[in-house]
């Protein structure tokens, strides 16, 4: 049995399938998707459909909530707790939701009322984090100023630049494996070897294509720390690095 975490897919369905082919997943394996499987790329609906299908077939696929899953769920249901001073649908559109709307052949906000509710239930089922015996899997990270860093919080899918604030005593001897902030894939193995901080960022900017060191989808074996990289093979990729996860 192997246990893998996969970084931010962002609708890059063909790239995601190519990475799974590298991993040669069986039903004995565990796969953890670290959020942001949707938006920006050309195949968000296909990614969701594939994960739901794998789950129905008995494969151990677990999805962790990213900020993009949170944004889409808010756009569908305005009763979800919310803290920003923007209209929810517009905020989602500004952050890559346009391509996901296109996947569903939707053109305006009211079209979301026609969405098959299995997608909404899927978004709601995503987990804030997962604890394994040797690591915590989360989209972004934790707020180490909080008394209980594991209490469900938006920090888990929004926080950035927190490594210097990590209190290792709160991690019970485990490390954090996360995504959310695109990073240079070329330095990833060196960072893992050094482990300056008890955290590994495996978001290697799959959906982006113009800056050196990104444009890959990454998986990590959470036990051996072996890295698997798949260059983006989807035709549609972001032309600019937006500085957002």
- How confident is the model over 197-209, as pLDDT tens digits? 999 999 999 999 7
Element holding 5 (H helix, E strand): strand 3-6
**Contact criterion met (CB below 8 Å) for 38 and 68:** yes
The DSSP 8-state label assigned to residue 57 in this structure reads T
The DSSP 8-state label assigned to residue 215 in this structure reads S
For the beta sheet containing 216-221, the strands, ordered from the edge strand earlier in sequence to the opposite edge, are 60-63, 30-33, 3-6, 216-221, 227-231
Q: What predicted TM-score, i.e. pTM, was given to this entire model?
A: 0.93
Model confidence pLDDT, tens digit, residues 111-122 = 998 999 999 999
Task: Give me 234's structure tokens.
Answer: 């989807």
- How high is the mean pLDDT of the chain? 92
pLDDT band of residue 78 (cuts 50, 70, 90) is low
């Amino acid at each position: 049995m192997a246990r893998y975490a996969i970084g931010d897919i962002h609708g890059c369905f063909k790239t995601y399938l190519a990475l799974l082919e590298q991993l040669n997943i069986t039903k004995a394996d565990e796969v953890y998707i670290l959020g942001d499987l949707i938006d920006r790329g050309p195949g968000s609906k296909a990614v969701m459909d594939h994960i739901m299908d794998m789950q129905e077939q008995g494969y151990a696929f677990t999805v962790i909530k990213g900020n993009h899953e949170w944004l889409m769920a808010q756009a569908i249901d305005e009763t979800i707790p919310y803290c920003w001073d923007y209209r929810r649908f517009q905020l989602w559109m500004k952050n890559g939701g346009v391509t996901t709307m296109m996947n569903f052949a939707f053109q305006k906000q009211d079209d979301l009322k026609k969405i098959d509710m299995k997608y909404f239930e899927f978004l709601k089922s995503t987990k804030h984090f997962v604890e394994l015996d040797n690591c915590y899997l989360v989209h972004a990270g934790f707020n180490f100023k909080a008394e209980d860093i594991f209490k469900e919080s938006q920090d888990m899918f929004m926080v950035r630049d927190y490594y210097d604030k990590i209190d290792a005593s709160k991690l019970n001897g485990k490390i954090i494996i996360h995504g959310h902030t695109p990073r240079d894939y070329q330095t990833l193995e060196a960072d893992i070897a050094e482990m300056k901080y008890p955290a590994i960022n495996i978001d290697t900017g799959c959906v982006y294509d113009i800056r050196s060191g990104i444009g890959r989808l990454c998986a990590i074996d959470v036990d051996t720390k072996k890295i698997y990289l798949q260059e983006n093979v989807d035709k549609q990729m972001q032309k600019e690095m937006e500085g957002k996860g």
